[in-house]
Amino acid sequence: MTPRERAVKSAAAMWAEDQASQHFGMEITEIDEGLATLTMPVQPFHCNGHGICHGGVTFTLADSAFAFACNSRNMSTVAQHNMISYIAPGRKGDLLTARAREISLTGRSGIYDVQVTNQNGDLIAEFRGFSRMIKGHLFEE
């Protein structure tokens, strides 16, 4: 199995159980080893009292992309620590895209950067996730 095939199969196994990402309206648009891209249209129920996309929703999109990227090797991996910087607001009707890429993987610990942009390519948020591999696999190889 190639690394990309493993990543695709890992994503399919995770997606089947990921009710949260599905509930938010996310879609996986790209997956490879150490990489994942997810999109999500900003719906009215994603917006806060200021009429913009709630920061927690933007964080959730970035966190989901991070999760698919760091689990792409069929090794169960969880978040150890995450942080986000909000650059601009997402707005109702925007299509947000979160692109996660692996920066470092040493032993069981990884670092991933995620950029969240809108349909115009405007930067909405920068997210950095730190991962830790735990026991288990997403599927039997």
pLDDT digits (tens, 9 = 90+) for 93-128: 999 999 999 999 999 999 999 999 999 999 999 999
CA distance 68 to 18: 11
Total domains present in the chain: 1
The domain in which residue 68 lies consists of 3-133
Query: Residue 101's closest CA among 39, 4, 34?
Result: 34
Q: Is residue 87 part of a domain?
A: yes
Q: Is residue 7 part of a domain?
A: yes
CA distance 141 to 12: 14
pLDDT digits (tens, 9 = 90+) for 18-68: 999 999 999 999 999 999 999 999 999 999 999 999 999 999 999 999 999
CA distance 24 to 17: 14
How wide is the angle at C-alpha 79 spanned by C-alphas 49 and 140, nearest 5°? 125
Residue 11 pairs in a beta bridge with: none
Predicted pLDDT of residue 99: 98
Q: How many CB atoms lie within 10 A of CB 94?
A: 20
- Domain of 51, CATH number, reads 3.10.129.10
Beta strands 95-106; 27-32: pairing state: unpaired
Q: Is residue 138 part of a domain?
A: no
Q: Is residue 107 part of a domain?
A: yes
Burial classification of residue 66, based on how many CB atoms lie within 10 Å of its CB (0-12 exposed, 13-18 middle, 19 or more buried):
buried
Q: Is residue 141 part of a domain?
A: no
Predicted pLDDT of residue 116: 98
CA distance 133 to 58: 24
Q: Is residue 65 part of a domain?
A: yes
